[in-house]
Amino acid sequence: AQSVTQLDSQVPVFEEAPVELRCNYSSSVSVYLFWYVQYPNQGLQLLLKYLSGSTLVKGINGFEAEFNKSQTSFHLRKPSVHISDTAEYFCAVSDRLGSGNTGKLIFGQGTTLQVKP
């Protein structure tokens, strides 16, 4: 079974500063990795995903994440944040579709990014 741990429940940062939101996962099989963002009172939107290939993945709104297999991590980064980035961010993992794998998505607990002026 897979599990996802987001190490920080809240991350306060000033506008235009860089930010990193941490995510670690555990799985006995190969996985797909995702970051989703949730703005207040809304559903979730996909920021970026890692399926295979280059370990550095670029997403929307200037975000990127790096897959590190040895450390089982998929940290999200942005070099300069805006007030509009204030939201909750979820890391998620699913096992790769194949014999015996369900492909269901498991989410972390979420990290609230608070961007201050």
Partner 1 sequence: DGGITQSPKYLFRKEGQNVTLSCEQNLNHDAMYWYRQDPGQGLRLIYYSQIVNDFQKGDIAEGYSVSREKKESFPLTVTSAQKNPTAFYLCASSVRSGEKLFFGSGTQLSVL
Q: Which residues lie near partner 1 (CB under 8 A)?
A: 6, 9, 32, 34, 36, 41-46, 49, 90, 94-97, 101-110
CA neighbours closer than 13 Å in the CB half-sphere of residue 39: 6
Phi first, then psi: give them for residue 52, nearest 5 degrees.
-170, 175
Q: Is 15 or 27 the residue whose CB approaches partner 1 more closely? A: 27
Reference 20, options 70, 69, 93, 73; nearest CA is: 73
Q: Are 87 and 114 in contact (CB under 8 A)?
A: no
Helix (H, G, I), strand (E, B) or coil at 87: strand
Q: Is 9 or 80 the residue whose CB approaches partner 1 more closely? A: 9
Region class of 41: left (phi > 0), else alpha (psi between -120 and 50), else beta: left
Q: Is 15 or 86 the residue whose CB approaches partner 1 more closely? A: 86
Q: How far is the CB of 35 from partner 1 (least distance, A)?
A: 11
Q: Is 28 or 97 the residue whose CB approaches partner 1 more closely? A: 97
Q: How far is the CB of 29 from partner 1 (least distance, A)?
A: 12
Q: How far is the CB of 89 from partner 1 (least distance, A)?
A: 10
Q: How far is the CB of 116 from partner 1 (least distance, A)?
A: 21
Q: For residue 57, what are its two tokens?
A: 């993945």
